[in-house]
Amino acid sequence: SHYLIGDKLGEGFYGKIVLATHVPTSEKVAVKIIEKSKLNSIDDKLSVEREINCLKMMKHPNIIQLLSVINAPTAIYLVTNYIEGVDLYDLIAKHKLKEMETKFLFSQVLSAVIYMHNLGITHRDIRLENILIDNNY
């Protein structure tokens, strides 16, 4: 009830990601909606639990921040900060990156991966579409 759900931003295996507005502050956030009906096995439930625990641990400028977890009867809502921009795939497709831009972006990704590895976290789906680039890169 504290969030006004807006447009769909993307879709994942267990549900979708939508843009939302935190009503009290008017802050834009991204909400990953995990439909409990799609969590058919113990492994599915453990995977979501592991994702939430990992997100709770991470505090890094190049990693999406988990703001809130809402456990409702039919879905789990993961509220994160919203990054206005594009994914790295779209950026590369539309814009020829210069060497310095490429080095800068790669160092940002590498910094995040090293941080996760130092926490004992392995990201198993690193790909261009999962790397968000804000409008200020």
Give catalytic residues, as residue numbers: 125
Could you give the CA distance from residue 78 to residue 133 in angstroms, rounded to a whole number? Answer: 20
The structure tokens 């990601």 sit at: 17
Q: What does the H/E/C string look like for the chain?
A: CCEEEEEEEEECCCEEEEEEEECCCCEEEEEEEEEHHHCCCHHHHHHHHHHHHHHHHCCCCCCCCEEEEEECCCEEEEEEECCCEEEHHHHHHHCCCCHHHHHHHHHHHHHHHHHHHHCCCCCCCCCHHHCEEECCC
